[in-house]
Amino acid sequence: MNAWQLLQIPWRSTYPSLRWFAVVVFVLCSTGAIAIGAFADGPGAMRGAVAMYGAGLTYLWAFFFSLGLLLAIDARQLRLPGIQRQINASLGLYGVLGIAVPLFAPGVDWSMAAVLALFSVVGLAFAVMPRYLAVVVALTPSLANALWSRLDLPGIDDPRFAPWAALIALVLLLVCAWRWRQLLSAGNRQPRGWSSPMVLQFRKGSWGHWNCIGDNSQLGQRPDWLQPGVDLTGVGPAKPRKSLRVALGGWYLPQTAGSYGKQFALMFGILAIPAASLVLLSRIKASGGADFTATLEGSLIGALSSLTVMAAPAICIFSLLWLGKRWQRANAELPLLALLPGLGNPAGVKRLVLRTVLGLPLALHGLLALLLGMVMLCWHGHAYMLSFMLLAQLGGAVVTTAVLLNLFGGRALPPWSIGLILVVAAALTMASLLLPALALGRHPMVQAMPLLPLLPLGWLLLAGAMAWLCRRGWRGLMQQPHPFLPG
């Protein structure tokens, strides 16, 4: 097999969407690095260029080259000879090219090879290590940045850093090689849940679990201690709403107090890591002269705003994906519910479904809005700024109602249409987060102020469109003989 064929292996062993996205990211990073190297002046230029190119390398190794492992696992399972050797050779070739090519650029010191190797190996480690370690890896840049400024360590463009980079890269490479072999030999007994590496998540060609929400296979992978404890007390015809929640599953599932406690403890445990990092970073930065309380307050407002920004579309997406799966499958809950006696007449069942299904997401939107209201009361100075967040939350609730009503009305919106609505809602939400911050923040931008009245107008237009969709879904639901017909 010649070099050209070796270079084609990763290209042919990945999904088109992943491969093209990787190319776009790498080209953007490389172009950015060249632009910084060519046009920026001063001592930070080289550091910026290396960091930019390194980020591209890390992405490629984390989300593109690492997928060679999936091919290697399949080849081993199918007993195909020689494939694994070719994958190793291909990755080695890409590793050398990724490091060597930029060294020929003018002004680049050969000691940079070690730094670029480190960037590459960190990407690979992120992909093959268990996911609970990947969470820590994701926080590394912020922590490293804070530590570097605090301890005055040599920068990545400093020749003194090269030996350290080489040593860390070598250790990480050995760990990656060990892990690679371990995953390769695991065959069908791959680690699951949080022990599963990121690279195994790419089996279905998408980053993250959005496509898998609502899949029963996900439930099967979860360890027993993470399974919710179902509360079946009182369910039956006397409590149709609770019964329907049992049948809907997911976050609708009624759980025992102990189970809720466990889930909340886990959630707070996960949130504690970024919170602790936030406090740590604030303390480190504060030692440089800044006011710790002001930094913390700013960070908290930022975190709260980000939470609401992420939560509003997440509530909509999660509800839609979960219920969409339920309302798509002819062999799952729909036939069971349609033929289950004791839920009442069709009109009553429609009301029951609407109350149960819309109740939880709308209650969550309401809870977030309430949280924002309380923050507005506590921080009077930021009330005007936060009122835009409140607007975003209400807008999110309208979007959730519209898409769910159309799902139950047998008029489920096509994916492109839902995507368009979510993109518009996300853009408005981001604008509601950033514009008020720019216009009313500590260093106000005068140009941003006139744009603020456009935000309520934008939300109003979206709400109008959603009202039309709500009416469409409602009429569809009323025309349906019963609500358990697949969409």
Partner 1 sequence: MNAMLRETETAAPLAIHGLAHCYEGVNVLAGVDLVLEPGSVLGLIGRNGAGKSTLIRAMLGLLEPLAGSAFVFGEPALALSDACKARIAYVPQQPEALAWLSARQMLDFVGRFYPCWDKGFAESTLERWQIPPNKLLAKLSPGERQRVDLIRALASQPELLVLDEPAAALDPVARRELLREVALRAGESGTTVLFSTHIVSDLERVASEVAFLHQGKLLMRCSVDETKERYARLWLPARMSAAAPNAGLSRRRHDDGSLSLVVERDAQGRWPEAANLAGARVDALGLEDLFVEIAE
Task: Output the smallest distance, CB 221 to partner 1, in A.
Answer: 9
Cα–Cα distance measured from residue 429 to residue 313, given in angstroms and rounded to the nearest whole number: 9
Cα–Cα distance measured from residue 104 to residue 257, given in angstroms and rounded to the nearest whole number: 63
Cα–Cα distance measured from residue 403 to residue 435, given in angstroms and rounded to the nearest whole number: 27
How far is the first Cα of the chain from the last one, in angstroms, to the nearest whole number?
50
Kind and range of the H or E run holding 128: helix 112-128
C-alpha separations of 367 from 272, 304, 347 in Å: 21, 13, 29
Give Cβ neighbours of residue 180 (< 8 Å, ≥ 6 apart). Answer: 69, 72, 128
Q: Where does this chain touch partner 1 (CB under 8 A) — which range of 61-69, 241-249, 259-267, 421-429? A: 241-249
Pick one of 77, 140, 211, 216: the residue that binds partner 1 (CB under 8 A): 216
Number of residues that bind partner 1 (CB under 8 A): 40
For residue 426, state whether it binds partner 1 (rule: CB under 8 A): no
Task: Output the smallest distance, CB 192 to partner 1, in A.
Answer: 11
Neighbouring CB atoms inside 10 A of 465's CB total 14
Amino acid at 133: L
Amino acid at 71: L
Task: Output the smallest distance, CB 220 to partner 1, in A.
Answer: 4
For residue 235, state whether it binds partner 1 (rule: CB under 8 A): yes
Q: Which of these, 389, 356, 355, 354, lies nearest to 372 by C-alpha position?
A: 389
Within residues 333-362, the interface with partner 1 by CB under 8 A covers 333-336, 338-346
The smaller minimum CB distance to partner 1, of residues 129 and 321, is found at 321
The smaller minimum CB distance to partner 1, of residues 84 and 221, is found at 221
Task: Output the smallest distance, CB 252 to partner 1, in A.
Answer: 10
Task: Output the smallest distance, CB 201 to partner 1, in A.
Answer: 19
Per the CB < 8 A criterion, the answer to whether 128 and 69 are in contact is: yes
Within residues 274-333, the interface with partner 1 by CB under 8 A covers 329-333
Task: Output the smallest distance, CB 322 to partner 1, in A.
Answer: 11
For residue 482, state whether it binds partner 1 (rule: CB under 8 A): yes
For residue 249, state whether it binds partner 1 (rule: CB under 8 A): yes
Cα–Cα distance measured from residue 36 to residue 33, given in angstroms and rounded to the nearest whole number: 5
Task: Output the smallest distance, CB 487 to partner 1, in A.
Answer: 11
For binding to partner 1 (CB under 8 A), which residues are involved? Answer: 216-217, 219-220, 227-228, 230, 232, 235-237, 243, 246-247, 249-250, 253, 329-336, 338-346, 480-482, 484-486
